[in-house]
Structure 1
């Protein structure tokens, strides 16, 4: 059951990064899944999105997002999830320093959601860089992605 809760927390965090007014654009779901290191087939994803977004509005709420994402998270256990997050972190920690700068994180977040303004980004960064070091280490990154 604990894994289920961790999954929900992680999904909510990911959702909130992209959500405006309680819904997200379905086109961003593939970006979110990619960010979480999930492998999926575009056709499968689209079919599941279509099932969820019956009106074709191009938007889903958090519950819809969870139902869509859970199709791809089924087999995931938290160890595999951690490996995938490590992998994602390594992509951005090109020098292998064990951390990324908040500037890099800001770029990642801005690229993930172009609706985030400077204040939104400042808020997210402040939440993640809890020690104010200007860098985000893997633990802080993990916490952001999983809520642990």
Structure 2
């Protein structure tokens, strides 16, 4: 109840000084009006204006980021290699282009520590959002000469390995596993896109 009251005070009075030992309402009002906050180390105090749910979500995200970083830290040195940067960003749900990764890797140290990675992850402007299924389908329609929703398997391979964010032949082989190719050698590109995005 006391914790809830403390957050209700914050909502009512704006950012307030909170302590580990919950302050009374009068003490809180006094802290707001005092221009020099108490610096006594016996009473650890902190400033906050974030609701508890947002603080918890932020801590959870940071914990997940550290966990993923540790998985990519192959040598256990607290660093990752520049070569792992793009994969780690993508593992955390970011969508950097290969050009962005190359630019970031070129300006990053050879071994990237967690603080440096956090700065990259939280850079101003972030990364390009991932395309939607409709975006990809619209892109494939350009190659659908007959307008019937199908594209040749060979043409699809060419598009994926030669245009935009180029994939390797091995990556295309992996993507095309389980894709139904018709007797005429064509692929329903809408089904293809939706199956890829569901993985």
Which is greater in Rg?
2
State whether TM-score is above 0.5. Answer: no
Greater relative contact order structure (CA < 8 Å, 6+ sep)? 1
TM class by shorter-chain length? 0.3 to 0.5
- Give the alignment's TM-score, normalised by structure 2: 0.34
